[in-house]
Amino acid sequence: MTTPFGETVRRLREQRGVTQKQMAEAIGVSPAYLSALEHGKRGKPSFDFLQRVAGYFNVIWDEAEELFRIAARSDPRVTVDTSGLPAAYTALANRIAREMRQLPPDVIAELDAVLEKAAGKR
């Protein structure tokens, strides 16, 4: 398993023909940390780490902003606070938490599309 940020870093690294060891050494982290990040076994990276990754890949500002947005959506251990919301919100959050691992990719894509559409209406 991985995270959107882990996938993005791996893709950037592979596009440039760089190994995890080479990248880790250049940005001052261990290869084990970089591997864990790419495989979704580490939480959301720090702002400092994100700046080092953006600098390492020499990405333009728009791409760096997108990298930061992807990182913000990549914490593999999410907490959903439904306090103060109607009971249906809490029930939905708990159901998603229980069933997430069994949902096929096409259902995840459909749910994401519904949320994107709802966000556009706000």
What per-residue confidence (pLDDT) applies to 52? 94
Number of H helices, E strands in the chain: 7, 0
Q: Which two tokens stand for residue 6?
A: 């882990």
DSSP state of 80: -
For residue 79, what pLDDT is reported? 87
CB 55 within 8 A of CB 10: no
**Residue-averaged pLDDT of the chain:** 91
pLDDT score, position 121? 78
Distance CA 10, CA 28 (A): 17
Identity of the amino acid at 95: R
Closest CA to 6 of 37, 29, 42: 37
Paired tokens of 111: 């749910």
Residue pLDDT, tens place only, 75-105: 877 889 999 999 999 999 999 999 999 999 9
* pLDDT given at position 93: 94
Euclidean distance between CA atoms 7 and 37, whole angstroms:
9
- Confidence check: pLDDT of 122 > 80: no
> In sequence order, what are the residues at sequence separation of 6 or more whose Cβ sits closer than 8 angstroms to the Cβ of residue 17?
none
The per-residue pLDDT for range 27-48, each reduced to its tens digit, is 999 999 999 999 988 878 889 9
pLDDT digits (tens, 9 = 90+) for 3-13: 899 999 999 99
Residue 30, SS3? coil
| Whole-model pTM over 0.85 | no
pLDDT for residue 78: 83
Which pLDDT does position 63 carry in this prediction? 86
Q: What is the pLDDT of residue 41?
A: 87
